[in-house]
Structure 1
Amino acid sequence: MWDEFAEGARLLGRGLAMYGRSPRLLLLGLIPAVISFLLLGTAWFFLLWFIRDLSAAATWFADDWGAPWRGLVRFGAGAGIVIVSALVSVLTYTALTLLIGDPFYEVISERIEERLGGTPGMSDLPWYRTILKNAADSIRLIALGIVVAVPLFVLGFVPVLGQTVVPVLDAVVGGWLLAVELTGVPFNRRGLRLKDRRAMLRANRPLALGFGMPVFVILLIPFAAILVVPAAVVGSTLLTRRLFGLPVDKPAPVAGKPPVVLRV
C-alpha cells in the first residue's frame, strides 16, 4: 500500500518536473490558473475579513456565555469555517481552472501523451463538444465535497479534535476528490466519464491518494496554486497512463531516429 502511495507522489513530482522544463507549457498553463486565482483570492479576502462576524453568527447560542467558553466555541467555529472553506475552495479552484482552461489543458495533456507514445483509444471529439459534460462532472464533485464538508464543519467546533484530526480528514477527502477531478482531462480524451474514473481510482486508492493528497496540501499555500494545477494536469496524465498500464517514461530514442520533441 505504501509503495503505491509513494508511486502516486512520484508521479506528481515527475509531472511537476516535466511541466517546469517546458517554457511553452508554463505559459499555456498559467493563463487559466491566474484568472481562477484572482477570482478565488477575492473570495478568501472577504472570508477572512468577516471571519469574526461569521463565527459569532454561527455560534449565536453562545452570546450569553461567559469566558472562556464563548471564546473557545467561537474559535472552534472559526477554525471549522476556515477548514471547510479550504476544502471547498481547493475543489472549486481546481474545477474552475480546469473549466476555464479546458482547451489549454487538453493540449498540454495530449502533448505529454504524444511524447510518451500516444493515447490508445483516443476520442476524436473536440473540446467544445465535451465541455458541458465536463462541467457537469465538476459540479457533481464540488457538491460531493460540500456534503462531506458538513460533518467536518461540525467536528471543527470540538476543541483540539477540530484542529488536529479534522485537517487530516480534510486532506484525505480533498486528495481523493482532486485525484478524481484532475484525471478528468486524460480520461475524457479516452471517451470515459466520471463513473469510469471513480472505478479505476477506487481500485488503486493508495496510488490515487499518493497523488491527490500532496496536491491538496500544496494548493493550500498562497500563490502555489497558480503553478500546481497545470503541473498536476501533467501528473494526472502520467497517473492515468499508469492506471492503463502504459509507459510513464519517455522512451529511449531508437538508433538512427531523432528523439521525440515536445511541442505546443
Structure 2
Amino acid sequence: MSEDSTINKPSSSNPIDNFTSGVRFFFTGMRMLFRHPSLLGLSLIPITFTLIFIILLVFGGTWLLGSMINDLLVTLASFISLLFGGESVPGSGSNVMVPNDLKNFTKTIALIVSLLLGYFLYLPMARIFLAPLSEALSRKTHLIKTGKPYPKASLGWGRAILEGLKLVAFQAAIIFAALIAAIAFPPLGAPAGIMAAVFTCGLDFMDVPLSVRGLPLKSKLGIIFRNKVLAFGFGFAVYLSLLIPIVNLLSLPAGIIGSTLLMDTIEE
C-alpha cells in the first residue's frame, strides 16, 4: 500500500515549505505506525521492555534515594543533638526523631528525582532496546511505501562499527561546540543548546535509513546537508515530541518511520 497520498513532496526552493515538510514527515511516521500493525508490532516489544526498565528504575530509585536521604537526616539530627548537649544512642543513629512530615517530604523529593531520571533515560534506553529492530523497521517502512525491498547493501560489521563511532564523535563535537558557546556567551547558551539538540535529533533518525543503504558517514552528511532545512524541520518535530509525556514513548519508532519516508521521498 502506498503512502504517497499522506506525504507532501518537499520543495527545493522555499525554506519555509521545506521546514514544515520536515515537521510533517515525523507526524506522517506517527500515523503510519498505527496504520500498519506490522510496524507497530516491531516497535511494541522494545517499548515494553523500556517501560519495564523505567518503572523498576523509578521504584528502585525512590526507595534507594529515600533511604539515603533519611539516613542523612538521622545523621544530621544526631550531630545537631550532640552540639546542643544531647547524647547519641548506639545502634539507633540518634536520640532525636526525624519528624514524619520531613520523612514524607524526602520521599516525595526522591520520587520526583527518580521520575526525572526515568524521563531523561527513556530515549537512550529505547535506542538500546530498539537498535536490533531499527533497520528492520526502516526496511519494512520502505517496502510498504514503495512496494520494493531495499537493495542489499552492507558496509560489513567492522566498517559499520567504525561509521557508528564516527557519528557519535561528530554528535559529541556538536554538543561540545554548543557547550563552549554557552560558556563563552551565556545569553546564547539556551538557543545554542536547543539548536544542537534539534540537529542531533534529526541526524540520529535520518542515519537509520541511510545506514540501511550502506552509506559511509561522509555520504550521509552530504545528503543531510543538501537537505538541511528538511532535516532541521524533522529534528525540530522529534525534539518537541520528546518533551511531551506519553507521546515521547512513540517518538523513536515514529522517528525511524518518518525519516525513512523522508529519505525515500528525497530519492524520488
In structure 1, the partner of 2:12 is none
Structure number with larger C-alpha Rg: 2
CA contact 1:218–1:224 (8 Å) conserved in 2: yes
Return the offset for 1:174. Answer: 1.4
Are 2:34 and 1:5 equivalent residues in the alignment? no
In the alignment, the residues of structure 2 paired with residue 99 and residue 134 of structure 1 have an alpha-carbon distance, to the nearest angstrom, of: 17
Inter-partner Cα distance in structure 1 for 2:171 and 2:56: 18
Q: 1:123, 1:189 within 8 Å by CA — same for their partners in 2?
A: yes
> What residue is the counterpart of 1:154 in the other structure?
183
Asked if structure 2 preserves the Cα contact closer than 8 Å seen for 1:108 and 1:234, the reply is yes
2:261 to 238, 243, 258: 238
Q: Quick one: which of 179, 182, 204 aligns to 2:227?
A: 204
- Contact 1:99–1:131 under 8 Å retained in 2: no
Q: 2:44 aligns with which of 30, 35, 38?
A: 30
| Bigger shift: residues 139-148 or 170-179 | 139-148
Q: 2:241 aligns with which of 188, 194, 218?
A: 218
In 2: Cα distance, 1:153 partner to 1:33 partner: 34
Residue deviations 1:227-249 (CA, integer Å, cap 9, x gap):
1111110001011112323xxxx
- Offset at residue 221 of structure 1 (A): 2.5
**Residues 242 and 96 of structure 1, relative CA distance in 2, 3 Å threshold:** farther
Cα distance change, pair 109–173 in 1 and its aligned pair in 2 (3 A):
same
The AA in structure 1 aligned to 2:225 is R
| Structure 1 residues 123 and 4: alpha-carbon distance in aligned structure 2, compared to 1, 3 A threshold | same
Contact 1:7 1:210 in 2 (8 A): yes
Helix, strand or coil at the partner of 2:176: helix
Per the alignment, in what secondary structure is the counterpart of residue 29 of structure 1?
helix
Residue matched to 1:103: 132
Closer, same or farther: CA 28–228 of 1 in aligned 2, 3 Å: same
How far apart are 1:138 and its partner, in Å? 4.7
Rounded to whole Å, the distance in 1 between the matches of 2:266 and 2:210 is 11
* Paired residues of 2:197 and 2:239 also in contact (CA < 8 A): yes
| Closer/same/farther in 2, CA of residues 125 and 32 from structure 1, 3 Å limit | farther
Matched positions, count: 197
Summarize the Cα distance change of 1:208–1:119 in structure 2 as closer, same or farther, 3 Å threshold.
farther
The whole-number CA distance in structure 2 between the counterparts of 1:19 and 1:109 is 11
| Contact preservation (8 Å) 2:242, 2:248 | yes
Instruction: State the alpha-carbon separation in 1 of the partners of residues 44 and 183 from structure 2.
Output: 36
Alpha-carbon displacement from aligned partner over 1:152-182 (angstroms, at most 9, x marks no partner): 55379x5xx4xxx644433322121121111
For the aligned residues, what is the CA RMSD?
A: 3.6
CA distance in 2, matches of 1:149, 1:39: 29
- Consecutive unaligned residues of structure 2, counting only runs of 5 or more, are 1-14, 66-115
